[in-house]
Every structure is written in C-alpha cells, then in structure tokens.
Structure 1
Amino acid sequence: MLKVYTCIATQHDLRLVALAALVCALASFTAVNLLHHVGRSEREMRRIWLAVAAVATGFGIWSTHFIAMLAFQPAVPSGYNIALTIVSLVAAIALTGTGLTVGMSPRVPYARWIGGMIVGGGIAVMHYTGMAAFEIAGRVVWDMPLVAVSIALGGLFGAAALPVALQANTIKWKALGALVLTVAICSHHFTAMGAAAIVPDPRIVVSATALPAEWMAIGLALASIVIILLALVGLVLDLRDLRRAGETARMQELADAAVEGLVVYNETTIVAANHSFAALACVDGSQPVGRLLESFFPTVSQGELTATARKPLEAELCATDGSMIPVELIRHNILYAGKQHQVVAVRDIRGRKRAEEQIHFLAHHDPLTKLPNRTSFNEKLEAEFAAHRGTDRCLAVLFLDLDRFKEINDLFGHLIGDAVLQCVAEKIKNVLKPEHMVARLGGDEFAVIVPGLPSPAYATRTAEAILNAFDETGVNLPAGVTIGTSIGIAVFPNDAPDRATLLSHADAALYEAKLEGRGIYRVFEPSMGEHLHDRRQFEHDIRHAISRNEFSLVFQPQAELHSNRVFGFEALLRWDNGTRGAIAPTVFIPIAEECGAILKIGEWVLRTACAEAATWDRPLGVSVNVSAVQLHGGNLPELVEEVLKETGLDPSRLELEITESSLIKDIGRALAVLHKLKDLGVQIAMDDFGTGYSSLSNLRAFPFDKIKVDQSLVRAVDTSDEAAAVMRAVFGLARGLKLPVLAEGVETDAELSFLRAEACDEMQGYLLGRPCPIAEFAQHTSGEGKAAAPQRLRKHKLRVVKDSAA
C-alpha cells in the first residue's frame, strides 16, 4: 500500500484529489438520498427515480475517476479516447442502475448486499474502461495483485454501502451510506492507480483524435453540474418530504385522537391507519399498514364500499385473531401525500348491537324469569295456528295460575315471591320439549303452547308432567314455602276455531280448576265458559255497585259489660244486587279484593259510616273494617284525615278494625301506617284475634287500643273446658298488656255469664242486637235515649230484625 500512497503523494495534484473526493461524496449522498425516494415511490415513478439515482451514482463514479486522472501528472504527453470515455460513463450508469435495481428488489434474498456488490463491480468496470481510454506516450504496466485488491475493495465497500444507506430514512444513515460508497469509489480508484506503472516509449504517439485534458476538464465540469443539479433535486425532495411528513404527523395525531378507526388506502392496500383501528383489528400487535383492505373486510365489495359515501354500511371486520367484529363503515376520498386516496371510518358497533339485542330481548321476554312475554306468546301462537290449519294435528294451550301466590307475597315478601316465580319458570321449562313454549303473561300467570299433538288427549300428559314437577320442593326457597298450580287446557281445532276463542276457553278451564280445589288441571268443556262469564259479570257488577247505589250499611251495637251501656256500633257492608239479590259479604268481599275494587268500596264505607256517625246526637263510636289491600296499597292515613275533616267527626269516635294477617305482608309499612293513624287520634283494634297468628310480638309492636276476640272462641266457652281455658288466657294476656277485650258473636245467656265472670270488658253479638239500619237504633243515637240492659235490647232487636247475617 506504500506504492499507492507514493502514487497519490508524488504523481497527483492533491488539490484535484480533494476535489475528486468532494465530488465523489456529493454524488454518493445524492445517490443515497434519491434511492430513498425510490423506496417511497410506486410503479412508473419507482423506475424513474431508479434511473435518476443510477445517473447520479454513475456520474459520481465517472467524475471521481476522471478528476483524479486530471490530478495524475505523468511526465509524458497524454489524452483520452473519446469513444472509450463515453463507454466508461455508460457502463458506470448501466451497472450502477442494475445494482440499485437488485438492491431495491423485495424478492431477491440479500438484495442489498448483492446490489451493492454489483455497484462495486460497476466501479471496477468503469475504472478500467476509463484507463483503457487513457492514451499516453508509453506503456502501462499493471501490478496484478494490486489490481485484484482494488477490485476487492470496490466490491466489499460497495456491498456494504446499500445496507448501511437503506437502514433508515435519516440523515445519519444516509451520511454513513454515502461515506461507505465514497470509500468504495476512492479506495478502488487510487489502489488501481497505484497498480499502474507508466513506462515512456517514444514509439507510441498519442492519436490526434484524443481528447486533451482541457476538454476533459470541461466535460467533468458539466458532469459535476449534473451531479449538483441532482443533489439540488434530492434536497428539494427532502424538503417536500419533510413538509409532508409534518403534515402526515399532524394528520396521524388527529386521526389517533379519534375514537373511531380510520384507514387510508389506495384502491386495495392500506397506507395509513390510526391507533383505534390498529387496536380493534390487529389484536396480535401487528400493524395494518401494507395489508390488503379486503383482508379485514372480506365480505364487502368495492361497490358497497363506494356506496358508503352516501349511507353508512354495516359489515363485519375480520380481526387478526379470526374473530368477526360488527362495524359501521363510511368512506370518503381524500388527498394524502399529494395523491388521491380513500379513507374509511370504522365504527365499532358491538355495544350498539348488544344494546339492540337487549332491547329486543326485553321487548319479547319477561325480565324476571327470562321467559317469553305475552307479545312473544301471541306471535308464536299465531304462527302455530297457521301451521296447524288444514292438518290432522292438534294445538293445545295450557294456562297456569299459581295457587295462593298472594299469601306467599303477604307472608314472605316480594323478594321471595320473585324467587318463587323464577323457580316455577325453571320447573316448567325442564319438563317441556324443545318445540314447546312457556311464557309468563303477567303476575303469577303462565301459558304453555304444545303443538303437533296427534289428538287432544295428549295435552293432558304435559299438564300431568308440570303438576308432578310442582311436587318437588323448590331450591333456594325458605322452609314453609310451598308452590302449587292450577292448569286450564284448550285444544285447537276441537275447542275453538281461532286464537282469541282458544285463549278464552283455556282461561275458563283454569277458572274451573281453581274452583274445584286447585292443584289440578281441567280440559275445557262448553259449560265452563258460562262459569267464567258469570265470574266476569260478577266482577263487573261489584265495580259498578257504588254508582248504582246497591251498597248499604247496617250497624251492630257494642256494649260495656259492667254498665250495660251501648258505646258504639260496628258498620257492616251489605250488597243488594239488582239481578242477583242480596249477596253475603263472605262471597263478594274476597272477589272485590282479588279484582281490586275493594279500595273504592272501602273508601265508600269509611265516608258513609263517618258521615252517619257525625249526625248522631250522642257521641257514640263507630267501627270500620280495613282490608289488607287498603292498609298496604292505598293512602289510608291521608284518606282518613280527609274524611274526618269533611264529616267533622271527632277522631276519637272512629275505630279501625285490622286483622292480624293483613299486617304480615309488609310489617314495616303496616307499622308506619298505623302510627300515622294513631297520630290522627283514631282508635285501632285487632280484629278476629284467635283465628290468625295470635302473635304476642305483634300485640307489643303495633299500637292497638283493643283486642276483638273472634266468635269461634266465644261460642264454646260454656260447653268446652278447653275453649274456656283459651279465653281465660286471652283475658290474662290482655290485662297484662292493659288492653280492653271485646268478645264477638255473643248469642246466649250462658256465654254472657262466662264473660261477666271473667271480667270481659265489652261484647257484641245477636244477644245484644242484630245488624240493622241505624234508624232501628234511634233510641241510642238520639240525645233523649237511655242506655238499656243487654237482655232488654236483645229482645227488642229480635222482634224487629229478621237478619241472619253476622
């Protein structure tokens, strides 16, 4: 290598050597810079920029060689063969272009290394072709080992130049790549020049056509200008790319801020995407850029995608893990990176789909039991009717109503009631076949559709299976909770020709099953429709009894045992229907509670009784019975306050009788209502004591003013030692709690004697007087009347009244 150094130091103009190195570096950087534009270009522009990069590199190699040749100062005349000089330039450009093309190819393994070696080979070809164009008055003797070294240096550094230059699109890697390429060109040239030794020979004459050094300098100047122009072109492209990169970065930041996914594509391939789309589609952490758009939306055609510019399109996004995600697409055209592109907004609609499914489910199902609701039941029944018409198969409808479900709610509360309904739903579903359908129609009412039956008799099998399922104890239910059901069955086409009639007949069969004892099923018979019609008519008559003035009040006196003084009356309701005649309270009161008419009836009784009592000259008390429905479902304290103000009745004269069973439904609410009533100043009595729970805790917890012992305990006190013992215990309990006791249903002198002996406080019954219109007791309500003995009052009333109702 000393020979190379000596060649440079003694045989070259170092100023021109420096110029050659500078031109080489400028050309190399220009080539590397342009090469990066090749990677960002497409189709025809890619080939154009490859050609421009090849020209820049070829001119750089050629200029470096010939500037260095001008710096070479041999002691003999010299010149340049024009043809070979041009061939050397063409060879440099051609081989460099081939190497760059190979280096940028994505299909060639180790393309950058191979392409770089081809560029290195182009350096050698250009150099030795250029040396062949060098004419001199002498002979050139080559040192072959150095020739080999020069070729190896150009190939090795050239092979490394492209991988380094294309490592990243940054100034650092561009500069390093240009430096390696410069080293490849310069090391090859000066090593090759060191391998050449010129032996002067006067016999060799430089041809007259040889290009003198001065003309070569002009050509090199022109080549340098080309290189400089290409460098300026690269600089302009860099500035443009920098500006676009800034715009792209701002667009990307704005796109990443969007909640919706955004995808920019050029007809088929994704060129940009925001974080939202990458997170949605590429769950494996990969990037969507560079992938085909159809790989994410395989079911969407270009026509459908184009149409989304006018109307959003619902489609499915195929994520990288294979899952299909429902999305909504909207497409627009945009200018991206200076070119026309398309952008698609991708909206994840999984939440909306879930909400729609939930809304649809709630519209067609019962939220508590998750069973189909009445709407779904009717739709299914209509479809089954259409399918069964004209066939020899039967369609059965089963109506189910839980037995004594109201008692479960009253005793255990609505939470247990809800658990019972859920348990019932599971029991029924477990015994049905897939083609059957069970629905909850409301409250404790269920219905089952049983299609495809060979004959009507087969419907009873399903009913029996359901009843057998109810025999099993329900899980997760408190001890003592028993569930029973009654079932009514109607069959198409035997029992009804249409849906409405079929449902009505199933309801009639259910009503018959409940009348006959519950826990059974009944198949519709024509006579059942008449019973159901009577029940519906009965309910209708109850609701209109007030407006028809069919209700009336009778009063039964109450007296103190120690003074025989009548202190008040109990108001009792009577109903005289225009077509049915007199109807006993034990018949119509339960039905009024079931159909909800009891609230209006109870209000009418309270208003009428208080208004009547307010007209009495003597301040006697009046007792009014309160239904459990009034206690828990109405605004009883507000109603009582309003009635007292309207009638002017002293609150202390009003006594409300409440049965213990009506308190159990919601003890907290019942206690709050009773305290509000006590605040008004009215009296509260526990009615029918001895027939319900007779709980001592209730007597302590609730603000009762009196205990009314049921007539079932009174009637046997003179004949049964056990009954007498129970009554004595009640009296002892009442004295301990300092509560007066009123005995109901006193009918004989023996019963009265027992009550007097046990120091009972008050009495009521036929012995004292039967329930009668208040006019029959004018001697007690008027200011002139005097208190009468119970026996005398009884005799008077027995002569006046023939009423046998209690």
Structure 2
Amino acid sequence: MLKVYTCIATQHDLRLVALAAFICALASFTAVNLLHHVGRSESEMRRIWLAVAAIATGFGIWATHFIAMLAFQPAVPSGYNIALTIMSLLAAIALTGTGLTIGISPRVPHGRWIGGAIVGGGIAVMHYTGMAAFEIAGRVVWDVPLVAASIILGGLFGAAALPVALHANTVKWKALGSLVLTVAICSHHFTAMAAAAIMPDPRIVISATALPADWMAAGVALVSILIILLAIIGLALDVRDLRRAGEAARMQELADAAVEGLIVCNETEIVAANRSFAALACLDGSQPAGRPLASFFPAVSQGEFTGTAQTPLEVGLCATDGSTVPVELIRHSMLYAGKQHQVLAVRDIRGRKRAEEEIHFLAHHDPLTKLPNRTSFNEKLEAEFATHRSAERCLAVLFLDLDRFKEINDLFGHLVGDAVLQCVADKIRGVLKPGQMVARLGGDEFAVIVPGLPSAGYATRTAEAILDAFNDTGANLPAGVTIGTSIGIAVFPNDAPDRETLLSHADAALYEAKMQGRGLYCVFEPSMGEHLRDRRQFEHDIRHAISRKELRLVYQPQAQLQSNEVFGFEALLRWDHPERGAVPPAVFIPVAEECGAILKIGEWVLRTACAEAASWQQPLAISVNVSAMQLHGGNLPELVGAVLKETGLDPFRLELEITETCLIKDIGRALAALRQLKSLGVQIAMDDFGTGYSSLSNLRAFPFDKIKVDQSLIRAVDTSDEAAAVMRAVFGLARGLKLPVLAEGVETDAELTFLRQEACDAIQGYLLGRPCPISDFAQHTSGKGRTPASRRQSNHELRLVKNSAA
C-alpha cells in the first residue's frame, strides 16, 4: 500500500487525480441510477436503457483511467496508441454491459454477485488494455503481486457493487452502490499503476501515429461531458420517478382508502392492487401484484375484461385459499406509468347475495315456521296441476286449521302460540314424503299438497298420519297445552276440474270437519259446498248489517231490590235479517267475532246506546257489553271518550260490561284499558260472573264497580241447596270486597225471595221486564210512573212493574 500511496503522491498531478475520482463517482452514480430505471422498463426500452447504463459505466471506467493517466507524470516522452485506446473503451462497455445484464436477470442464481464480478473484470481488461495503448520512451516493468492485487480488488468490490446498488430503490442504497463501484474502479487503477515501473530507454521511439497527451485530454474531456450529460439524464429520470412515485403513493393511499377492491392491470397481469382487494383475494397474506388475472378470475375471458366498461359483471373471485367469492366487476381505462391500463373495481357482493337470498326466502316462506307461504303454495299447486292434467294419477289438497288455537293465545300468550305453530310445522313436515309440500297460509291455517296418488282414497292416509303426529304434544310446550287440528280434503280431478274450485272444496271440507267436532278429517262431498257458501254469505251479511240498517237495540230494565226502583237499562243487540228473520245473538255474535265485524258492530252499539240514554229526561244508567276484540283493539278508551263527548252523556251513567274471558287474552293490556276507562268516569261491571274463567284474583286486580252474577247460578237456588250455597258464597265475597251484586236472569218469585233474603243489591230478568224497544219504557225514562225509592213493594208489586213495562 505504501508503494500505491507513493505512486499517487509523487507520480501524479493530484488535481487530475481528484478530477478522475469525481468523474468516476459521477459515472458510477449515473450507472446505478440508470440501472434502476432499467428494472422499471419493459421490452425494447429495457434493452435501450441497459445499453445506456453500460455506456455510462464503461465511459466512467475509461475516463477515470485516462484522466488518471494524464495525471501521471513520467519524466520521459509519452503518447497513446489510437487503436488500443478505442479497444479499451469498447472492452469496458461490452464487459460492463454483460455484467449489468446478468446482474438484473432474475433467472441467473446469484446474478448480482456474478454480474458485479464481471464488471470488476471489465475494469481490469479496460485498464491493462489502456496501459498497452500507453507508449513511452522506455520499458514498463510489472510488479506481479500488485497486478494480482489490483485484479482482486476490482473483482471483489465490483462483485459487491451490484448487490448493494440494487438492494432498494432509495437514495441511500444508490449512493452506497455508487461508492462501492467507485472504490472498485479507483482501487484497481491506482494499485495497477503502482505495479508498473517505467525504465527509460532512449532507443524506444514513440510512433508517429500515437496521440499526444493534449489530444488525449480533449478526448477524455468529451467523454467526461458525455458522462455529465448521462448523469443529468439519470437525475431527470430520478426526478420523474420521484414525482411518479409520489403520485403513485397518493393514488395508492386513495385506493387503499376505498372499501371496494381496486386493481390496475395490463392485458393479462395485475400491476397494482389496493388493500381491500388483497384482503379479499389473498387470504394467505401474499400480494396480488404480478399475478395473472386468470388466477383470480378463471371464468372470465379476456374479451369480457375489455368489454365490460361501465357495465357491472357478476363473476366468481377465486381467493388464494381456494374459496370462491361472488363479486361485481366494473372496468375503466386509465394511464398508469405512462401507459394505457385497465382499472377493475371489485365489489364484494356476498352481503347483497345473502340479502337477496333472504328476501327471496321471505317472499316465498313464512318467517316463523320457515314453511313455504301462500305464494309458494300456489306456484307448486299450479305446477302440479300442469303435470296431473295429462297423468292418470290424482292430486290431493289438504287444508288444516288448528283447533281452539285462539284459546291457546288467550291463556298462554302469543309466545306460546308461536311455539305451537313451529311445533305443528315440524310435525307435519315429519310425516310428509318426498314430493309432498306443506305451507302455512296464514294464522293457524296450513295446507298440504299430495301429488301422484293412485286413487282419491290414498289422500286419507296422509291425513291420518298427520292426526297421529298430533297425538304427541310438543316437548318444548308448557304443560296443559294440547294441539289438535281439523283437516279438509279435496282431490283433483274427482272433486274439482281446476285449481280455484279444488281449493274452495278443500275449504268446505275443512269447515265441515270443524262443525262435526274437530280433531278429525273430512273428504269433500258436494253438499259441503252449499254449507260453506251459506257460511260465507252469513259473514257477508253481518258485515253489511249496519249499512243496511238491519241492526237494532232493545233494552232490559235493571232495578234495586231494596227500593224496587228501576235505575238503568242494559242495551241488547238484535239482528233482523231480511231473509233469515230474527237471528239470535248467540248465533251471529260468535260469527261477527270470528270474521272481525264485531269491532264496527260494537262501536255502533256504543254510539247508539249512549245517544239514546242522553235523550232521556231521567238520568238512568245504560249498560253496554264490550267484546274481547274491542277491549284489546287498543282504542276502546279513545272511542268511549269520543262517544261521550259527541253524545253529551254523563260518563257516570255509562256502564261497560266486561266478561272474564276478555281479561285472560292479555291481562296487562286489559288492565291498562280499564284504568283509562275509569279515568273517564265510566263504570265497569264484571259480567257473567260464575262462568268461564272465574278468578277471585281478577276481582282484586281490576277496577270493577259491580258484579253481575250469571243466570246459570240464579236458577234452582230455591230448589237446590248446593246452588243456594254457591250464591251465598258469592254474596259474602262481594260484601267483603264492598262490590254491589246484580243478579241476571231472575224469572220466578222464588228466585226473587231468595235474593231478597240474601240482601242482593239489584236484579235483571224477565220477572222485571223483557228486552223491548226503549219506547216501551217511556214511563221510566221520562220520569212518569217511576217507583219512588222510599216506597217498599211486594213481589206482586214488582211484577206490576214488569207488566207495565211489557
């Protein structure tokens, strides 16, 4: 090393040495910069920029050598052989290009180290070829160890230069790579120069064609200028790449912020992708960039990729874990890295597909039981009709209606009712065979399609299997809940020629099964259709009875037993049908409740009775019965308030009669409604006490003002000790609760005598007066002929009240 230092310090112009080092460093950085640009280029441009990088590196090695040679100051004349000088430049460019090509090739194992070593070899070839071109009046004697050292230094540092320079596309690694390449060139050159010893020999004459040092300086200057130009080009490329990198980073940030997957691709390969797409497609953590489009979208042709602009295309995305994700593709074209690319927006539509499937399911199935609904039932039945019209087999339809399902809802609540419906669905599903279908048509109505029967008689087998399944109560249902069903059967083509008639006949058979006692099945017979039509007509007539003015009210008096004074009337509904005549309330009221007409009828009764009572001169009470549907309808207090305001009736004169069955359906709602009614000042009476679901707790929980004992308890009190004992218990209970008692259905003197003995508060019944138009009781409503409260009457005198009322 001392000899190298002595060579540099004593035999060189240090200013030119510094210039040589500067040109070497500039050329090295330019070469590294251009080499990175080669890695980002494609096809023809890649080869062009590789050639430019090789030229820059070769020129740098050559210029460094000859500037340093110009700095070498031997004491004898010297010159340069033109041919060998040019050959040394070409050798430097060729070997450097070879090394750089191998260094950036991904196919060569350890290509960067091998390519760097070849670049180091190019430095040595160029140097010693250049030294061969150096003509001097003397002989050059070589120090073999230093020659070997120079070659080794150039090869080692050259081999390390490319791995360092290509480690990352950052200024730091570019500078380090340039430094290592500069050290490779300079260490080789000055070590090799120290290996050369010049022995002056006047006998050696420099050839006439040799270039003098001045001319060589001019050539080196031109090459240096070219190196500077290439450095400027490399710097411009760096600035452009930085700008593009900044834009790309901003675009990547924007793309990563998108919820949808975004990929940039050329014709066949993905160039870039955002995080959303990587998270959707690359579940193994790999990156999608560089992969073929076909690996993610194997079912999409190239023509579809280029022909779906602005038009969503639903395809399957093959994720890296082998799963397939339904996605929607939308294509756009854009310039990316200076070239035309395709941008694909990849939208994950799994949520939409699930929603569509759920919507489709809900459109065709019942959400509670998960059974097909009426729409699916009709579609299935239509398809089966099309099949069976040309077949020699029968098609049966079974209509099912749960027995007393309303009572289950009233007693146990709607949650238990829902559980019952689900249990029923499971039971029916469990007995059906492939090809048969059960559907829930609504409420507690179910229907079964049984196709392909050899004869009509086979339909009863399915009905029997369903009834057998109902014998086993569901394990998840509360104790005491029993499930029963009635089934109506109609068969095509025996019973009906078309779908509508078949359904109507199955409904008629179901109605007949319910009329016969429930818990059984009936096969359609022609006579059943007439019964069903009559029922439907009856329901139609009751719905229009108000508008046709067929309903009327009659009134039955109520009297105090102590004073024998009539204090009010109960309004009772009557229906005079134009064809059926007088229809008993016990017949049409249940039908009105089943078909829902009771709400309008109840409102009409309340409004009519209150208006009538408001017209009386005497402030007598008026009692109106309230059905369970009215109480639980949600607007009874508002309706009563509006009617009282409209008619001007004193709220204290209105008494609403509520049966205990009205309370059981929803105790909480019933209690809230009764409290609202009490806040209006209305009186509340418990009607029909002693029948149905009589509960002593109801008397404490609900704000009743009176107990009305049902006539079934009044009868036989004079002949049966048991009946009398029950009535005495009722009177004792009422006195304990401080509630007045009104006995209904009093018809005999013996019953009246018993009630007087037990200190009953009031009575109502035929003994006092039959239900009549209010005009028949004008002497009471007008105040004329009313029995004074202070006067005592005998049983005979009370009957006179009855006779006068009649």
**Aligned residue in 2 for 1:666:** 666
Relative distance call for 1:194 and 1:556 in structure 2 (3 A) is: same
1:330-383 Cα shifts (integer Å, max 9, x gaps) = 222222222222222222333333332332222222222232222222122222
Counterpart residue type for residue 128 of structure 2: Y
| 1:645 Cα offset (Å) | 4.2
Relative distance call for 1:495 and 1:116 in structure 2 (3 A) is: same
1:770-796 Cα shifts (integer Å, max 9, x gaps) = 333344444544533254754456488
8 Å CA contact 1:165–1:174 kept in 2: the answer is yes
Relative distance call for 1:63 and 1:754 in structure 2 (3 A) is: same
| 1:229 Cα offset (Å) | 1.4
Look up the SS of the partner of 1:299 in the other structure: coil
**Aligned residue in 1 for 2:289:** 289
- Deviating more after overlay: 311-320 vs 225-234: 311-320
Counterpart residue type for residue 381 of structure 1: L
Identical positions, percent: 85
Relative distance call for 1:487 and 1:140 in structure 2 (3 A) is: same
Look up the SS of the partner of 1:760 in the other structure: coil
| 1:139 Cα offset (Å) | 3.3
Instruction: Report the Cα distance in structure 2 between the residues aligned to 1:108 and 1:657, rounded to whole angstroms.
Output: 101
Relative distance call for 1:610 and 1:33 in structure 2 (3 A) is: closer
**Aligned residue in 2 for 1:690:** 690
Instruction: Report the Cα distance in structure 1 between the residues aligned to 2:782 and 2:17, rounded to whole angstroms.
Output: 144
8 Å CA contact 1:706–1:741 kept in 2: the answer is yes
1:653-686 Cα shifts (integer Å, max 9, x gaps) = 3322211111111222222222333333333221
**Aligned residue in 2 for 1:109:** 109
1:490-533 Cα shifts (integer Å, max 9, x gaps) = 22222222221111111111111111111222222222111111
**Aligned residue in 2 for 1:242:** 242
Look up the SS of the partner of 1:73 in the other structure: coil
Counterpart residue type for residue 427 of structure 2: K
- Deviating more after overlay: 741-750 vs 153-162: 741-750
Relative distance call for 1:798 and 1:465 in structure 2 (3 A) is: farther
Instruction: Report the Cα distance in structure 1 between the residues aligned to 2:35 and 2:176, rounded to whole angstroms.
Output: 14
Tell me whether 1:490 sits opposite 2:490 in the alignment: yes
**Aligned residue in 2 for 1:71:** 71
8 Å CA contact 1:767–1:790 kept in 2: the answer is no
Relative distance call for 1:193 and 1:639 in structure 2 (3 A) is: closer
Tell me whether 1:713 sits opposite 2:713 in the alignment: yes
- Deviating more after overlay: 681-690 vs 788-797: 788-797
Q: How does 1:417-496 map to 2 (within 5 A)?
A: 417-496=417-496
Instruction: Report the Cα distance in structure 2 between the residues aligned to 1:370 and 1:677, rounded to whole angstroms.
Output: 41
1:89-136 Cα shifts (integer Å, max 9, x gaps) = 111111110000000101111010010011111112212222222233
Instruction: Report the Cα distance in structure 2 between the residues aligned to 1:393 and 1:252, rounded to whole angstroms.
Output: 68
Q: How does 1:192-591 map to 2 (within 5 A)?
A: 192-591=192-591
**Aligned residue in 2 for 1:43:** 43
8 Å CA contact 2:749–2:795 kept in 1: the answer is no
Look up the SS of the partner of 1:633 in the other structure: coil
Relative distance call for 1:21 and 1:642 in structure 2 (3 A) is: closer
**Aligned residue in 1 for 2:655:** 655
| 1:713 Cα offset (Å) | 1.4
**Aligned residue in 2 for 1:757:** 757
**Aligned residue in 1 for 2:152:** 152
**Aligned residue in 1 for 2:790:** none
Instruction: Report the Cα distance in structure 1 between the residues aligned to 2:634 and 2:70, rounded to whole angstroms.
Output: 117
Instruction: Report the Cα distance in structure 1 between the residues aligned to 2:725 and 2:344, rounded to whole angstroms.
Output: 91
Relative distance call for 1:24 and 1:799 in structure 2 (3 A) is: closer
8 Å CA contact 1:103–1:113 kept in 2: the answer is yes
Relative distance call for 1:619 and 1:84 in structure 2 (3 A) is: closer
Look up the SS of the partner of 1:65 in the other structure: helix
Counterpart residue type for residue 159 of structure 2: A
- Deviating more after overlay: 121-130 vs 158-167: 121-130
- Deviating more after overlay: 501-510 vs 573-582: 573-582
Counterpart residue type for residue 571 of structure 1: A
Instruction: Report the Cα distance in structure 2 between the residues aligned to 1:231 and 1:779, rounded to whole angstroms.
Output: 126
Instruction: Report the Cα distance in structure 2 between the residues aligned to 1:297 and 1:226, rounded to whole angstroms.
Output: 50
8 Å CA contact 1:565–1:789 kept in 2: the answer is no
8 Å CA contact 2:743–2:762 kept in 1: the answer is yes
Relative distance call for 1:679 and 1:56 in structure 2 (3 A) is: closer
Instruction: Report the Cα distance in structure 2 between the residues aligned to 1:643 and 1:6, rounded to whole angstroms.
Output: 125
Relative distance call for 1:224 and 1:774 in structure 2 (3 A) is: closer
Instruction: Report the Cα distance in structure 1 between the residues aligned to 2:65 and 2:636, rounded to whole angstroms.
Output: 114
Tell me whether 1:81 sits opposite 2:106 in the alignment: no
- Deviating more after overlay: 622-631 vs 732-741: 622-631
Return 5+ residue gaps in structure 2 as ranges: 788-792
Counterpart residue type for residue 15 of structure 1: R
Instruction: Report the Cα distance in structure 1 between the residues aligned to 2:764 and 2:666, rounded to whole angstroms.
Output: 30
Counterpart residue type for residue 732 of structure 1: G
**Aligned residue in 1 for 2:126:** 126
**Aligned residue in 2 for 1:804:** none
Instruction: Report the Cα distance in structure 1 between the residues aligned to 2:118 and 2:506, rounded to whole angstroms.
Output: 94
8 Å CA contact 2:310–2:332 kept in 1: the answer is no
| 1:612 Cα offset (Å) | 3.7
| 1:226 Cα offset (Å) | 1.5
Look up the SS of the partner of 1:430 in the other structure: helix
- Deviating more after overlay: 566-575 vs 183-192: 566-575
8 Å CA contact 1:398–1:489 kept in 2: the answer is yes
Return 5+ residue gaps in structure 1 as ranges: 802-806
Instruction: Report the Cα distance in structure 1 between the residues aligned to 2:242 and 2:613, rounded to whole angstroms.
Output: 100
**Aligned residue in 2 for 1:633:** 633
Instruction: Report the Cα distance in structure 2 between the residues aligned to 1:116 and 1:249, rounded to whole angstroms.
Output: 32
- Deviating more after overlay: 498-507 vs 471-480: 471-480
Counterpart residue type for residue 584 of structure 2: A
Relative distance call for 1:496 and 1:289 in structure 2 (3 A) is: same
Relative distance call for 1:477 and 1:215 in structure 2 (3 A) is: same
TM-score under structure 1 length normalisation:
0.94
1:139-167 Cα shifts (integer Å, max 9, x gaps) = 33333333222221111111000001111
| 1:647 Cα offset (Å) | 4.1
Look up the SS of the partner of 1:582 in the other structure: strand
8 Å CA contact 2:142–2:195 kept in 1: the answer is yes
8 Å CA contact 1:423–1:475 kept in 2: the answer is no
Instruction: Report the Cα distance in structure 2 between the residues aligned to 1:373 and 1:128, rounded to whole angstroms.
Output: 95
Instruction: Report the Cα distance in structure 1 between the residues aligned to 2:634 and 2:771, rounded to whole angstroms.
Output: 28
Relative distance call for 1:793 and 1:611 in structure 2 (3 A) is: farther
- Deviating more after overlay: 345-354 vs 438-447: 345-354
**Aligned residue in 2 for 1:609:** 609
1:721-778 Cα shifts (integer Å, max 9, x gaps) = 2221111110100111111212222233332222222222222223333333344444
Instruction: Report the Cα distance in structure 2 between the residues aligned to 1:53 and 1:155, rounded to whole angstroms.
Output: 19
Look up the SS of the partner of 2:108 in the other structure: coil
Counterpart residue type for residue 504 of structure 1: S
- Deviating more after overlay: 548-557 vs 86-95: 548-557
* Equivalent pairs, count: 801
Counterpart residue type for residue 357 of structure 1: E
8 Å CA contact 2:311–2:331 kept in 1: the answer is no
| 1:702 Cα offset (Å) | 1.6
1:443-491 Cα shifts (integer Å, max 9, x gaps) = 2212222223333333223222322222222244333222222121222
- Deviating more after overlay: 646-655 vs 211-220: 646-655
**Aligned residue in 2 for 1:57:** 57
Instruction: Report the Cα distance in structure 1 between the residues aligned to 2:676 and 2:176, rounded to whole angstroms.
Output: 94
| 1:322 Cα offset (Å) | 2.7
Relative distance call for 1:137 and 1:687 in structure 2 (3 A) is: same
8 Å CA contact 1:317–1:325 kept in 2: the answer is yes
8 Å CA contact 2:137–2:201 kept in 1: the answer is yes
Instruction: Report the Cα distance in structure 1 between the residues aligned to 2:339 and 2:711, rounded to whole angstroms.
Output: 101
**Aligned residue in 2 for 1:622:** 622
8 Å CA contact 2:398–2:487 kept in 1: the answer is yes
8 Å CA contact 1:660–1:686 kept in 2: the answer is yes
Instruction: Report the Cα distance in structure 1 between the residues aligned to 2:621 and 2:372, rounded to whole angstroms.
Output: 54
Relative distance call for 1:786 and 1:101 in structure 2 (3 A) is: closer
Instruction: Report the Cα distance in structure 2 between the residues aligned to 1:657 and 1:790, rounded to whole angstroms.
Output: 28
